[in-house]
Amino acid sequence: MKTERILVTGGTGYIGSHTVVELQQAGYPVVIIDNLSNSNRDVLDGIERITGIRPDFVEGDCSDRAVVKKLFNDYPDIAGVINFAASKAVGESMEKPILYYRNNLNILLNLLDEMSTHATKGIVFSSSCTVYGEPDVNPVTEEAPIKKATSPYGNTKQISEEIITDVINAGAPFKSVLLRYFNPVGAHPSAEIGELPNGVPQNLIPFVTQTAMGIRKELSVFGDDYNTPDGSCIRDYINVVDLAKAHVIAVERMLTDKSEAKIEVFNLGTGVGLSVLELIASFERATGVKVPHKIVGRRAGDIEKVWANPARANNVLGWKAETPIDDTMRSAWAWQCRLRERGVM
């Protein structure tokens, strides 16, 4: 067991919980803080069933300065932070911009403030390919221009990257790794943890699995008149466990002083773009279950096509997306079936 503890904010959430599993399997003691606004305590049982270790858990809201202060005082061994805690629904952010700016930016500011007064070596930040907007060229490298954000959610990711950069350039005694995720999908192969959206899913895969289960009548494919081979939008769907593993590597770099710069930026994607229709076909092929769907109009604000050039992460981190998309689809379906077994949905 390592001695350097990793603080995972939002650690009972979708990507957070998968990352806690990988951290614990790599020997790191973890403390999770989560306000359970979009997750629940049962996730801790899933993590424990997979790893045999129950992570320390603090129920609390990192947008509250006093909560973060107490956390760092209670856990003086925190050596690194991975910040997943954030509001993340694009549509909701258009309706409630103040909530998004207040929540996402205060969480980050409180963490950075507290890290500065403790011997914390670094912070991994969950950023997004949304910072590239509609890219001029695909696949997208980290050098691609940052486009004006199309939603308050996206803007919080851009501003957060700038805040971290300013704070470190001003001499803060820690490093950062900014990870720009493409589209995280799938679940842990054990089906003990996975994505559990509240209400009607806004994202594609939870809608696909719920439709396959019969919870939703039909999936709407938002547009088949895009300038793509089959007319539907193209994304880079990255397996959530592969994604989680990149966080362990990123933390390790900062803790062992291997970072090449105080701030490093990496795209986390597969390098392969898939259309919505190709993804549905993959799900049906992998699971043998049909997904009733119909083509409807475009969704406002959608990007036509975006996929990653992950060369920097491949070469510098030694990380590569490994899971074939069909396996990822099977894992998403196994998780949906587990939720049904448990009577969750």
Q: Using the rule CB under 6 A, is 128 a contact of ligand UD1?
A: yes
Chosen residue from 25, 106, 190, 202 binding ligand UD1 by CB under 6 A: 202
Residue 90 in contact with ligand UD1, rule: CB under 6 A: yes
CB of 319 to ligand UD1, least distance (A): 19
Single residue of 221, 254, 277, 334 touching ligand UD1 by CB under 6 A: 221
> Which is nearer to ligand UD1, 29 or 273 (by Cβ)?
273
- Its sign, for the CA torsion 287, 293, 299, 302, is positive
Cα gap 210→203, rounded to integer Å:
11
**Residue 132 bears catalytic tag:** no
Could you tell me which stretch among 167-175, 241-249, 255-263, 299-307 binds ligand UD1 (CB under 6 A)?
299-307
User: Given the structure tokens 């990123």, which residue do they identify?
Assistant: 250
> Tokens 């949906």 — which residue?
336
**Smallest separation (angstroms) from ligand UD1 to the CB of 238:** 11
Strands 30-34 and 56-59, by their bridges, are: parallel
Phi, psi angles (nearest 5°) of residue 336: -60, -40
Pick the stretch among 6-14, 19-27, 165-173, 213-221 that binds ligand UD1 (CB under 6 A): 213-221
Give the CA distances from residue 78 to residues 71, 120, 126, 279, 343, in Å, rounded to whole numbers and listed in that order: 9, 6, 19, 40, 37
Which one-letter DSSP state was computed for residue 161?
A: H
Min separation Cβ 183 and ligand UD1, Å: 5
Q: Which residue has the tokens 């803790």?
A: 255
Closest CA to 255 of 78, 86, 114, 116: 78
Vertex 5 angle, CA 3 and 10, to 5°:
160
The yes or no reply on residue 207 touching ligand UD1 (CB under 6 A) is yes
User: Which position among 204, 244, 248, 334 is part of the footprint of ligand UD1 (CB under 6 A)?
Assistant: 204
Which residue's CB is nearer to ligand UD1, number 81 or number 131?
Answer: 131
Residues that bind ligand UD1 (CB under 6 A): 88, 90, 128, 130, 151, 154, 183, 202-204, 207, 219-222, 233, 235, 276, 299, 302-303
Q: Any idea which residues carry the catalytic annotation? A: 153
